[in-house]
C-alpha cells in the first residue's frame, strides 16, 4: 500500500463494499478493493434479474420499522442515507428511478447491470483499484490481511479495512458466510446466520400427487395469518413446500417459531375477499347432481391449486361437511417443518452483533477494522430495504474510517 498517503482496504465488492469505497475515495483516500469472485456485485446483478428493487418510497419512520432487530445505530445511518438520497445517488449515475404501484422503487429500466457498470466505471475513474479473485482468510500475526489470490497468498497491511462480506445465501455468488469463524476467533460476537426471506418445507411433505400436479404453481389473491397478523398477496407451491413473496413476508416469524417450537403454522385464507358467512352459504347451497369440484368452482371460483390444497390437507369427511369445508376455505392450517436451506434464501439474518462494534461500525475487538452490509446483525423483508441498509452501513463505515485515518 502507498506509504504516507491515507489509504484503506475494502474487502467485498457488493453494494456495501462499493459504497464504502466510493465514500472513502471521495474523501481522497487511496482505496483497494478485494473480492473472492472474478467480478464485482454478483448478487446485486442477480437482484436485478426480476427487477432491481433499490429502495422503498414509504415514509422514513415506517421504513425504519421494517428492519429488525431495532438498532439505534442502523436507524441513524438510514436517517443519514435515506431512500431519497439513494434515488438521487442512482440518478447521479445516470439511472433514474420510479415508484411502482406497491411503493417500491426501481430503476426506470428495472435492470441492475447498467447501474453497476456506471458505478464501477466511476469508482475506477476515481482511482479505486480492484483485485478480484482474492479471498480474505483472516489476519497474520502482524495484523496484515491474508488474502488467497491467483498467485498464492498475499499479505496486505493497511491502517484501515472495511469488511463487507455479505450474508450466507447464494454462496455461488460470493457471500458464503465463511467469515463467521474467523471473526469469532478474533473475539467478535457473531449471531449465527440463518435464512431470511426464505421458503419452507411443509410437515410430512406434499403427497406425490399434489407435488407433481402443483409444484411451481401460484396461489393468487390469498391471505396468510401468522400470530393474528394477516397479509394478502401470493406465493408458490414448491416440490416440498412453499415460497414466494407472501411467504417471505412472514418468514421471520415462521422461522423463529420453528427454532423455538420445532414447527410452525400459518393459516391460509383461500378467498380473502369473501366473508366466512358468504363462503358457508355458497358451500351449503344445494348442489344437486353436480360434483363437489364443479360446485366449488361454480359458486366460489375455487379450482386448480386452491382446490388441490383443500383435497391435500382435508380429510374426505371434512371435504363433504359444509361447515368444516367453509371453515377450511377461510382458515386452512398449513404446518411447516423446516426452513429451506440458507443458500436458497434471498437474504440472511444474524451476523456481527451490534455491541461488537463502536458507533462507527469499527470492531471493538479489532481496532482498524470496520464491518458493513448484510454481514451485520439485522434483517429486513424484501422491498428494497436490504440494498438500502447495506449501502447505508457501507457509507457509515467509510465515514468512520475517514475520521479514524485523520486522527492517526
Ligand atoms: C435472488 C435475490 C434477489 C434480491 N433482490 C433484491 C432486491 O430487489 N432489493 C434488495 O434490496 N435486495 C435484494 N436482494 C438482497 C441484496 O442483494 C443483498 O442484501 C445485498 O447484495 C447485500 O449487500 P452486501 O454488499 O452486504 O453483500 P453481497 O452483495 O453479498 O456482497 C458481498 C461480497 O463479498 C465477497 N466476499 C464474501 N466473502 C469473501 C471473502 N472471504 N473474501 C473476499 N471476498 C468475499 C463476495 O464475493 C461478494 O462480492 C436480493 C438477493 C437475492 C439472492
Each residue's pLDDT tens digit, 318-359:
999 999 999 999 999 999 999 999 999 999 999 999 999 999
State the DSSP string of 277-336: HHHHHHHHS--TT--HHHHHHHHH---HHHHHHHHHHS-HHHHT-HHHHHHHHHSEEEEE
Output the pTM of the full model.
0.96
pLDDT of 396 strictly over 60: yes
pLDDT of 5 reads 64
Q: How far is CA 164 from CA 10, 70, 239, 289, 326, in A?
A: 7, 20, 34, 65, 51
404 close to ligand 1 (CB < 6 Angstrom)? no
Contact at 8 Å (CB) between 175 and 135?
no
Q: To 5 degrees, how large is the angle CA 301–CA 305–CA 309?
A: 105
pLDDT of 250 strictly over 80: yes
Residue nearest to atom 41 of ligand 1 (CA): 136
pLDDT of 2 reads 42
Q: How far is ligand 1, taken at its centre, from the CA of residue 175, in Å?
A: 6
pLDDT of 384 reads 97
Residues 6 or more apart from 91 whose CB is under 8 A from it?
A: 97
Overall average pLDDT of the 208-227 stretch:
98
Q: Is 70 exposed, middle or buried (0-12, 13-18, 19+ CB in 10 A)?
A: exposed
pLDDT of 3 strictly over 60: no
Residue nearest to atom 13 of ligand 1 (CA): 47
Please provide the size of the chain in residues.
Answer: 408
Contact at 8 Å (CB) between 193 and 168?
yes
Q: How far is ligand 1, taken at its centre, from the CA of residue 177, in Å?
A: 11
pLDDT of 223 strictly over 50: yes
Residues 6 or more apart from 59 whose CB is under 8 A from it?
A: none
pLDDT of 6 reads 82
Overall average pLDDT of the 36-50 stretch:
96
112 close to ligand 1 (CB < 6 Angstrom)? no
Name beta bridge partners: 230.
225
Q: Is 56 exposed, middle or buried (0-12, 13-18, 19+ CB in 10 A)?
A: buried
374 close to ligand 1 (CB < 6 Angstrom)? yes
Q: Provide the mean pLDDT of the chain.
A: 96
Residue holding cell 499479505? 155
Kindly give the number of the ligand 1 atom that is closest to the alpha carbon of 12.
34
Amino acid at each position: 500500500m502507498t506509504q504516507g498517503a491515507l489509504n484503506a482496504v475494502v474487502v467485498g465488492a457488493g453494494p456495501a463494499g462499493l459504497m464504502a469505497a466510493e465514500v472513502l475515495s471521495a474523501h481522497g483516500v487511496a482505496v483497494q478493493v478485494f473480492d473472492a469472485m472474478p467480478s464485482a456485485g454478483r448478487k446485486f446483478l442477480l437482484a436485478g434479474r426480476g427487477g432491481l428493487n433499490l429502495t422503498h418510497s414509504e415514509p422514513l419512520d415506517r421504513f425504519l420499522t421494517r428492519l429488525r432487530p431495532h438498532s439505534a445505530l442502523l436507524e441513524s445511518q438510514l436517517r443519514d442515507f435515506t431512500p431519497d438520497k439513494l434515488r438521487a445517488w442512482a440518478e447521479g449515475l445516470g439511472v433514474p428511478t420510479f415508484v411502482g404501484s406497491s411503493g417500491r422503487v426501481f430503476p426506470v429500466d428495472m435492470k441492475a447491470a447498467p447501474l453497476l457498470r456506471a458505478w464501477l466505471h466511476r469508482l475506477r475513474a476515481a482511482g479505486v483499484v480492484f483485485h478480484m479473485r482474492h479471498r480474505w482468510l483472516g489476519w497474520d500475526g502482524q495484523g496484515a490481511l491474508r488474502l488467497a489470490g491467483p498467485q498464492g497468498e498475499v499479505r496486505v497491511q493497511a491502517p484501515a479495512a472495511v469488511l463487507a462480506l455479505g450474508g450466507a445465501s447464494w454462496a455461488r455468488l460470493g457471500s458464503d458466510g465463511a467469515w463467521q469463524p474467523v471473526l469469532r476467533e478474533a473475539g467478535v460476537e457473531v449471531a449465527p446466520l440463518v435464512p431470511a426471506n426464505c421458503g419452507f418445507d411443509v410437515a410430512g411433505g406434499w403427497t406425490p400427487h399434489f407435488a407433481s400436479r402443483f409444484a411451481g404453481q401460484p396461489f393468487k389473491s390469498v391471505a396468510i395469518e401468522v400470530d393474528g397478523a394477516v397479509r394478502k398477496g401470493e406465493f408458490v407451491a414448491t416440490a416440498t413446500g412453499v415460497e414466494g413473496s407472501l411467504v417471505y413476508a412472514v418468514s421471520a416469524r415462521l422461522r423463529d417459531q420453528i427454532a423455538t417450537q420445532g414447527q410452525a403454522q400459518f393459516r391460509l385464507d383461500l378467498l380473502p375477499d369473501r366473508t366466512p358467512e358468504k363462503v358457508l352459504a355458497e358451500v351449503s347451497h344445494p348442489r344437486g347432481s353436480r360434483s363437489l369440484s364443479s360446485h366449488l368452482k361454480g359458486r366460489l371460483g375455487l379450482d386448480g391449486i386452491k382446490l388441490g390444497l383443500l383435497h391435500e390437507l382435508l380429510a374426505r369427511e371434512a371435504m363433504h361437511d359444509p361447515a368444516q369445508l367453509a371453515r377450511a376455505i377461510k382458515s386452512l392450517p398449513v404446518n411447516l417443518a423446516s426452513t429451506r436451506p440458507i443458500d436458497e434464501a434471498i437474504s440472511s439474518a444474524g451476523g456481527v452483533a451490534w455491541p461488537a462494534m463502536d458507533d462507527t461500525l469499527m470492531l471493538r475487538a479489532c481496532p482498524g477494522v470496520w464491518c458493513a452490509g448484510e454481514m451485520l446483525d439485522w434483517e429486513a423483508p424484501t422491498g428494497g430495504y436490504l440494498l438500502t441498509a447495506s449501502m447505508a452501513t457501507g457509507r457509515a463505515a467509510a465515514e468512520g474510517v475517514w475520521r479514524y485515518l485523520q486522527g492517526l
